Each structure stands twice: as C-alpha cells, then as structure tokens.
Structure 1
Amino acid sequence: MDDSVAVRGTRVHTGEVRSLVWNGDDLLDPVGGWRRWSPDGTEHRRARRPYGRSYDRAVTSPSGRWTVVYAERGTKGLLLDGRRPVRELRRDDYRASQFDYPVGLGMLADGREVLVHCPERFSRLRIEDVATGECLATGSGEPMSSLFHSRPAVSPGGRWMLSAGWVWTPAGVCPVYDLNRALADSSVLDGRGLVPHWPLTDAEVDSACWLDGDRVALVTGDFGGEPDEDDEEDDDIDLGRHQLGVRSLSSATWLYRHDLPGPVGTILGCGDAVLALYGHPRLFDIRTGGLVAEWPELAMSRRQGAYGGDPGDSPVTAVHPDGTRVALAVEDGIAVIRVR
C-alpha cells in the first residue's frame, strides 16, 4: 500500500469495497466475492459477486467461521458457513428502507456463537445458536412496540448486548440488555434495557460501541438534550446533546462524559479511545474527550444514526483483532490507519 497517500496510514486504490473483514493481517471483502488483500496492498483474489447484487454489507462472527451478507436498507440476508450459503434471512419489511438491517453475530460466555436479528417484527429481537438455528431467546415485541432495533452488538465476553436503534418520534436510542437474564427470561428483551433513553440519555443517541466486556461508549447528536423547566440540564443523570459518554454496566455508572465539537457519527471502540467517522476519521480519548488524531484526507460519509436519510451509506470498517489498526473503505479503495 502507498504510504504517501494517507498520513499515518496506508491506502490502496482497488475499486469499490462493500465489506471488510480481517483474516490475520489480510483483508477480505465477502460481499465483493471474497476478494483478498495482503498488508502490502496486493490483491490475491478477484472474484465475481456470488450471492446476489442486492447484498451490500457483511458482518462476521468472532471466530471468523460465520458471516451474514445483507442489504443494509433491504429485507434479505444470507447466512454463510465459511463461504457456503446456509440459509436465507429476512426481516420485517415495515419501514425497512428507512433504517439499517438489524443483524449481528457474537459469542456468549460459554463459547457458543449467536445470531441476533429481527425476523418476525422490527421490535422483536431473536437470539439464535448460529450453528444449530435453535432459538435461545426472543422478545414479544409488544411492550416497546415503537422500538426499531438496529446495529445489535454482543459485548466481548458475551455478557451484554446493545441495540443502537430508534423509537418513533423519531429519535435514536441504545438499550443494553443483560444476556444472562435474557437467556433465562426472554421478557427482558421487551424492556427498556440498562441504558434507557430517559433518564440516562436526554439527547438522541447516534451511535454506540463496546470498549471491552464491561464498558460501552455512546455518542449523541443534534437533537434532544433540552434544558429542564428550570433552564438547567440535569448533568448528574443525562447524556446531553453532542456528548460522548462511557458507562460501566457492572457498576451502573457513567465513568466519563465529555462535550464533543458537534456530531461525530458512527464510532468504533479502540481501547481507551473511540474512532469517529463523521466526515473523516477522528480519534477521541474517552478519559479526557480530547482529540488525539484525525485523518482529514480520508473522506467519509456524514451518516449519523441508524435511521433516516442521512447523506451517504454507513461506513464500511473493520477493527483489527489486536485493536491497533482500523481498515476503512474510502473512495476507490481501502485505507488502513493505526489507532494505538
């Protein structure tokens, strides 16, 4: 890859890239026909797209065995074992074109890998053993019928699960669920979760990510966070507009809350930092809220939340398993930046 193209990173011009997955130090594009690039940018495999042109995104399980290719604003997905199709997935078509397909792959504490999706109703999460298809937990979708699940993600270690979706007004939210409790009692998935929109967040949540097995980071956007009737925001409880919050699930406390310069869009966890991708990549320290580094030469979309008509598609990214590098699909190619 050409070191002169991207400051503090590497970049290769290779045409459109629709998905990215690390395989060792190589990068793969499952949606693009499992194209493969080595660290020096050499492409070793150029294949036709075998799964259908409607698919434009992919998620992969922690072990790398399972992949789901899907249409981000469509209704169909395809579960793969390696590169072999296993079964087709579908989601509720209600407002499907207006928010990101709710699908995620994770690993429980006992080592079982799970598929999280909403095959029956936009508000009804289903957790399956991905290898057998057995349903381990499913909500009813009724008590919070206005909750549109999106971007589900299981925490490292398999204790918690977040859903960075939205509720009808509309407003972005991020309920977090205790998986141990949900697997014993599926009704847990119908509740408001451990990080409810109010009182813990007063502004619209644009994005969330796991930092480790206990800490979750959330960022808020342009809407909400209005002062209370006494013209003062409740700083002791709420996460207000344009803020970064880091919450410990085990202690049920905010560890850090910081003001941001404006919307930061999609975030990725990078140890004690988050990589924000609104407009271009920026790295923020979670302890101080300070800007550590930025890459203005790498143009990204200005997508904020999981719903609506934000400009551009959601970013195509992959964090290396060792947490030191992030691969990004940029115009006509791939950029790899070092974040730790």
Structure 2
Amino acid sequence: MELLACGHLANEGPFRTCLHLCVEEASQVSRLYTGRGGDYHLLCVPCAKLDDPWSQLAVVCEGCTDRADARSVAHVSGQPEVRRLDRPLGGVFCEEAAPVRPANDRCLAPMADGWLVYTGQHLVPSGGTSYKLELPADEEDDNGFGTPGPALHVSSDGRFAAVVRDFGRYGVVVDLGDGRVTMRLDRQDYCNFATPFPIAFLPNGTLVVATDWNRLDRFDPATGGLLTPRDTELRDSENPPPDYLDYFHGALTVSPTGVWLLDDGWVWHPVGIPAVIDLAAWQDGQTFAAEHGHELVVRDYLWNQPASWVSDSVVAIQGIGDDSDALVDGVQLYDARSGARVGTVFGPKGRMWGVDGQLAVVGEDGLEFWDRAEGARVGVLAGYRPTAYNPRTRTFAALDNQVLRTYCHG
C-alpha cells in the first residue's frame, strides 16, 4: 500500500474525486462521466464547473470514494457510453387512408380489431360508428408540468373507452357498443395540473381511476359500480390513521398480466416517488392495498417520466439520476416485488413501450429498440414515430396527415 492523495494508507478507490470531498462535508456532489460504460468520477460542484474539472481529480482511498458516492448527485457532466449494436429489424409496414385527425398525440389507441381516435369532439373507431363526445371544461389550464389536453384509453377487449383530461380534472367512460356514457370521472381539483390523469384499464376488465388527489378506486366500467369501498378520510391531521396516504397519484402503468400497477406520483417538497401497487392483493380483498404501495426511488422535482413494463415483474423508468437537475438519458430497471434496482441502460429517451422483453422507444432517430441484457440499442426504424402500440398484435401506429401507418414487429 502507498500513501494516497487523501492522506490515507489504504487501497485505491474505484474512481477518483477532488480532494475537497475528502476533507469537507459537502452534501452534494457532481458526477463526471468518463465515456467508458457507466464509469464516473466525483467532484464537489464548484470543481465540476471549472473549465478543466479533470485537473482536480486525485487518486483517493476506498473509504473516501465510498463516502463521496453516498452523497446526493446535484450535477452531471461528461457522458456515459451509449451502446448501439443496430441489427436489421423484421416486421411489416402498412399504410392506409384515415380521414380523421386526433386531437393530439395521446388520442390514438388500440382496439381488439383496429384503432380508436378521439378528435376532441368525436370517438372514431376503425370501420365502426363514431360517437359525439366532449369533455367538461376544466377550471384551470396550467402547463407548468405538462401539456393539458385529452387522452384516450381503451380496455383490452375494446368494449370501453375512457377520455380524460391530462393535467386536468375530468373524464368520461363510454361503452363503444352503443356510445353510452357509463361513468363521469372527477379526480377533484387539488393539484390536478401536476400529473396526467391517473387511469388504467386492467386485463380483467375493471377500471382503476383516481377519485381524489390521494385516492385510487376500482370500478366496473359497464355500470360505474364501485368495487373498493373504504374509509380514507383524514379527520385529525395530528393523528392520521394507519391507512391514510399523503401522496399525489400520477400516471398509471399496468404490468402485462395485471399483477402490478406502477404509480408515477409525487409528494411535497416536491419529490417524485414512483411506487408499485400490488393489484393481485387489492383484487383478492386487501382493502387498503392501494394505500400501501412500495416506493422504487425518490427523485427531487422529477416525475411524469416515460415508463413501461419489460416483463410482468420488471419495470423501466426513464431518467438516470435522483434529481431533475442531474439527469442522464436512459432507463433504470426495478423489480416490482422487492423494489430493488436491477439494471440500467444508458441512452433511451422518449415515449416507450415494453415489447418482447425489450424497450421500444420513440427517440430522435425514430422507433428504437433497446435490449436490457445487452444494454444497447439493437435496431431502429428511422423516421417512424408511432404514438400507440397494441401488445396483442405487436403493432405500432402513427396517424399523420390522414394516413395511418402501422408497423407489426417481426
């Protein structure tokens, strides 16, 4: 052993730091990526912002690097290695005329045998009867957290559609067999502008939807019947009941077989806390299962990130890092049951779906396919940017200029 720059006679640490991190109690650090895999060095934030931060790095011991690495990351520079191992993609493209215009890129959704479009005034199914539908007006129109506007959701059997206002308050559920409105949705007005409307159809045909800022319920969409009666009211703020949830629900993403529900919500100050709810337990009679989801990560000022399930137990969430000011493009993978982080893939950024254990991402180059085992992009359809995906038929869809372009993944 030799005396290291930190003044310790010890084994060399796995990366370098500036000497300030060895002698000062900095609460935050900057991560300097080397461009080799996910390797990085650590500096105090002032050193990281110098013209030549590399000159500040020193070889220090394992103890000093461990203490530095335990601090929160408030700044990043450099870039991790983004692996691209593109291979030819199979599959079939089709184009057909579609004389209809979605209200936005959230208003095209798959049905059992085609696609459904919401125009802002009508629901228009492929080859079927259209129905007039307008959402109630919202009290606010705050775009500080996202773009307010309608979003379309369809049950897996294609029988019901829900049109909701993302970053807003109201929505409706429609029986596509006859155009009848079966439910009118209201998640109340407390900070509803901060997230997309929390809603998801489950594979068993029921509907999960927010009925208040901190409450989810399940319903029978055919009748609007409540399936989850329970008391969640806060009567004494000094002594909240054990099942009270101080959490703002966000976008909901269901695992393929409906065992788990990812909730991309947040809490004050604010921090994003994506959490997993045990749907199987909730449906089996655990009354307060929705109030006892387990958190995956805590991220300062960061939620509303693309997420998708890559298997029935592993979920991918975009944005590598724990602070909105110190993010790196890519996804972090979590095990739903344990909450443990089980992988990282640098690079993916954009709307995202899980496809055959891979991630399909609408990136800068087009529709990109990323393999989590290889940690790399393995194929790209240049220029193709779908807004909807049908997992049953493995088909993507984009509707632009009254042309429906679909791609069935090979």
Alignment partner of 1:51 out of 124, 133, 154:
133
Contact 1:126 1:138 survives alignment (8 Å): no
The change in CA–CA distance for 1:208 and 1:139 in structure 2 (over 3 A counts) is farther
Indicate yes or no: 2:294 matched with 1:207.
no
Which residue of the partner structure matches residue 116 of structure 2? 28
Q: Distance in 1 between matches of 2:271 and 2:403?
A: 33
Amino acid at match of 2:117: D
Which residue of the partner structure matches residue 380 of structure 2? 294
Alignment partner of 1:150 out of 250, 257, 265:
250
The change in CA–CA distance for 1:330 and 1:137 in structure 2 (over 3 A counts) is farther
Alignment partner of 2:171 out of 63, 73, 77:
77
Q: CA deviation at 1:65?
A: 1.6
Q: Secondary structure at the match of 2:288?
A: helix
Which residue of the partner structure matches residue 308 of structure 1? none
Amino acid at match of 1:322: T
Which residue of the partner structure matches residue 276 of structure 1? 361
Q: Secondary structure at the match of 1:117?
A: strand
- CA deviation string 1:231-275 (max 9, x = no partner): xxxxxxxxx8433233333565544322226xx133111112112
Q: Which shifted more, 271-280 or 87-96?
A: 271-280
Q: Secondary structure at the match of 1:149?
A: strand
Alignment partner of 2:195 out of 77, 83, 99:
99
Which residue of the partner structure matches residue 266 of structure 1? 351
Q: Tell me the C-alpha RMSD between the 2 structures.
A: 3.4
Q: Distance in 2 between matches of 1:137 and 1:158?
A: 20
The change in CA–CA distance for 1:179 and 1:138 in structure 2 (over 3 A counts) is farther
Which residue of the partner structure matches residue 336 of structure 1? 406
Contact 1:217 1:247 survives alignment (8 Å): yes
- CA deviation string 1:137-193 (max 9, x = no partner): 668386542x321221332322211112333344443201112333433333223x3
Q: Which shifted more, 131-140 or 288-297?
A: 131-140
Contact 2:111 2:154 survives alignment (8 Å): no
Which residue of the partner structure matches residue 7 of structure 2? none
User: What pairs up with 1:144-223 in 2 under 5 angstroms?
Assistant: 144-145=245-246, 147-183=247-283, 184-191=285-292, 193-198=293-298, 204=302, 206-220=305-319
- CA deviation string 1:185-226 (max 9, x = no partner): 3333223x334324xx79945222123332222222676289
What are structure 2's unaligned runs of at least 5 residues?
1-90, 137-148, 235-243
Indicate yes or no: 2:400 matched with 1:321.
no
Contact 1:275 1:281 survives alignment (8 Å): yes
Provide the identity percentage.
19
Q: CA deviation at 1:23?
A: 3.5
Which residue of the partner structure matches residue 184 of structure 2? 88
Which residue of the partner structure matches residue 323 of structure 2? 224
Amino acid at match of 1:96: N
Q: State how many pairs are aligned.
A: 288
Q: Secondary structure at the match of 1:242?
A: strand
Amino acid at match of 2:256: P
Alignment partner of 2:208 out of 113, 116, 129:
116
Which residue of the partner structure matches residue 344 of structure 2? 257
Q: Secondary structure at the match of 1:197?
A: coil
Q: Distance in 2 between matches of 1:92 and 1:188?
A: 22
Contact 2:166 2:197 survives alignment (8 Å): yes
Q: Secondary structure at the match of 1:101?
A: coil
The change in CA–CA distance for 1:150 and 1:335 in structure 2 (over 3 A counts) is farther
Amino acid at match of 1:26: G
Which residue of the partner structure matches residue 101 of structure 2? 16
Q: Secondary structure at the match of 2:193?
A: helix
Q: Distance in 2 between matches of 1:16 and 1:50?
A: 14
Which residue of the partner structure matches residue 67 of structure 2? none
The change in CA–CA distance for 1:139 and 1:252 in structure 2 (over 3 A counts) is farther
Amino acid at match of 2:196: D
Contact 1:167 1:173 survives alignment (8 Å): yes
Indicate yes or no: 2:329 matched with 1:242.
yes
- TM-score with structure 1 setting the length: 0.70
Q: Distance in 2 between matches of 1:30 and 1:255?
A: 38
The change in CA–CA distance for 1:140 and 1:331 in structure 2 (over 3 A counts) is farther
Q: Distance in 1 between matches of 2:135 and 2:259?
A: 35
Q: Distance in 2 between matches of 1:224 and 1:116?
A: 29
Amino acid at match of 2:190: Y
Q: CA deviation at 1:68?
A: 0.9
Which residue of the partner structure matches residue 240 of structure 2? none
Amino acid at match of 1:51: L
Indicate yes or no: 2:230 matched with 1:128.
no
Q: CA deviation at 1:296?
A: 4.5
Q: CA deviation at 1:36?
A: 4.1
Q: CA deviation at 1:30?
A: 4.7
Contact 2:152 2:161 survives alignment (8 Å): yes
Q: Distance in 2 between matches of 1:77 and 1:159?
A: 25
